[in-house]
Amino acid sequence: MTQKTIDRRFCIAPMLDWTDTHCRGFHRLLTRQAVLYTEMVTTGALIYGDVERHLRFGPTEHPVALQLGGSDPADLARCSKLAQDYGYDEVNLNVGCPSDRVQSGRFGACLMAEPGLVAECTAAMRRAVTIPVTVKCRIGIDQQDDYADLQRFVTTVADSGVSTFIVHARKAWLD
């Protein structure tokens, strides 16, 4: 499978409870090149739930990325493979969501405190697929919010082979 080049100059971020296939179809009417993202789908929802409901999208939505939430490398690899098999152009690990519910599941922004684990996750994801694996993160969390913290996080995760980081340019308060 040859990898398509994805133009990332303009991306449309997902919105909780809004970004379904119909919303992405509308976004595609506004721009033909923007990368569109799904809402964050947890690994548990894909492994134990209705895969078709979570992963279906229309042919006009390309380029489209599946945004995953999780922290188990094997589960993330399995779900990344599902994304590739369904025809997604990219899989994105969400390390930016600050919600309490997400934190209690040990995924989202709380993972910024564990760059080694994120690197393990993305390495497993990359081994499972040939499509790009990207990471969405914040500029920092709680008191870990200076440039050196972000640089340390990105450097550690980049060592796993991730070359694209989508940075939500505000910090996440988790406390």
Active site residues: 97
CA distance linking residue 65 with residue 57, whole number of Å: 10
Residue bearing tokens 């799904």:
38
CA distance linking residue 31 with residue 37, whole number of Å: 14
The backbone region for 87, taken as left when phi is positive above 0, alpha when psi lies in -120 to 50, beta otherwise, is left
How buried is residue 35: exposed, middle or buried, by Cβ count under 10 Å (0-12/13-18/19+)?
Answer: buried
Angle at 65 between CA 111 and CA 72, to 5 degrees: 35
